[in-house]
Amino acid sequence: MTVMTWIIAACVAATLSVIFIWLAEEPVERIKLQVFATVLCLLLIGLSTYTFELERESRDASNARVMTETDYAERLLALEEEHADDLAWQAIQIERDVTEKLEARYAAREDTMKDNLFLKVIDLEDVIKAQRGEIYALEDRLREAEAMNEALTLALADAERLMDTTPDETEDIVFFETYGSCEDLNAIYPEGVPLEHDAYLLTFDTDLDGIACGQNDTR
């Protein structure tokens, strides 16, 4: 109830009391009227004071509640902002940690790839050197074969010239040694025969060293 409600109720009670006094059949004593008026006044004063105190306490409680709600809202907003800042900082830290780990992993992988590539380059250089040595060896054998081919060509030309000579130009008949296999040739010549020998055949010189049916020739 508000203050105005209590005041109206007190006024109504006082009015009814006054009407009762005026309408009484017998005169009312003065002392009784003074006592009644004093009691009624004290009642009104006490009731008004009590009502005012209740209203003030209600206002204070309402103000305190508003202040509490405001303070709670401010604290909640501050906590939300602090929590948001903490989350943002944690996100930054996590992103930084992840970036550092990824960079370290990529650096390690790059170092590993460089090491592997370096080893592969070294292996490739070794292979190239080996193949180059084989190429040089093949070139040497090719030159030897060309030289032997040239020598055989010259020997064949000399043989053709000898075959083209007339009987008058030769005093003796020349016989050429021929063998069907290296076993037959080695039976007479265990070490083989050189390029200028009549029994030399290119098919018997498998290693092209100028010695037919030598130790390194394939039988």
Q: What is the pLDDT of residues 167-192, one digit of tens each?
A: 544 445 555 678 888 888 888 888 88
Q: Please give the pLDDT value at position 169.
A: 47
How confident is the model over 10-20, as a mean pLDDT? 67
- The owner of tokens 């008004």 is 48
Minimum mean pLDDT among 27-41, 81-95, 176-190, 204-218: which range?
27-41
* Contact indicator for 170, 156 with CB cutoff of 8 Å: no
Other residues' Cβ atoms within 10 Å of the Cβ of residue 6: 18
Check residue 191 and give its pLDDT: 86
Lowest mean pLDDT among 40-44, 134-138, 182-186: 40-44
93: confidence class by pLDDT, cuts 50, 70, 90: very high
Give dist(CA 152, CA 160) in Å, integer. 12
- pLDDT score of 40: 74
Token pair for 154: 């010259």
Mean pLDDT, to the nearest integer, of 44-57?
81
179 contact partners, CB below 8 Å, separation of at least 6: 185, 188, 199
State residue 89's pLDDT score: 92
The count of C-alpha atoms lying within 13 angstroms of the C-alpha of 52, restricted to the half-sphere facing its C-beta, is 6
In the predicted structure, residue 12 carries a pLDDT above the cut 80? no
Place 101 in a pLDDT band, splitting at 50, 70 and 90: very high
pTM, two decimals, is: 0.31
Most confident residue range from 15-19, 130-134, 177-181: 130-134
What is the reported pLDDT for 20?
63
Average pLDDT of the segment spanning 7-15: 67
Task: Specify the pLDDT at position 96.
Answer: 92
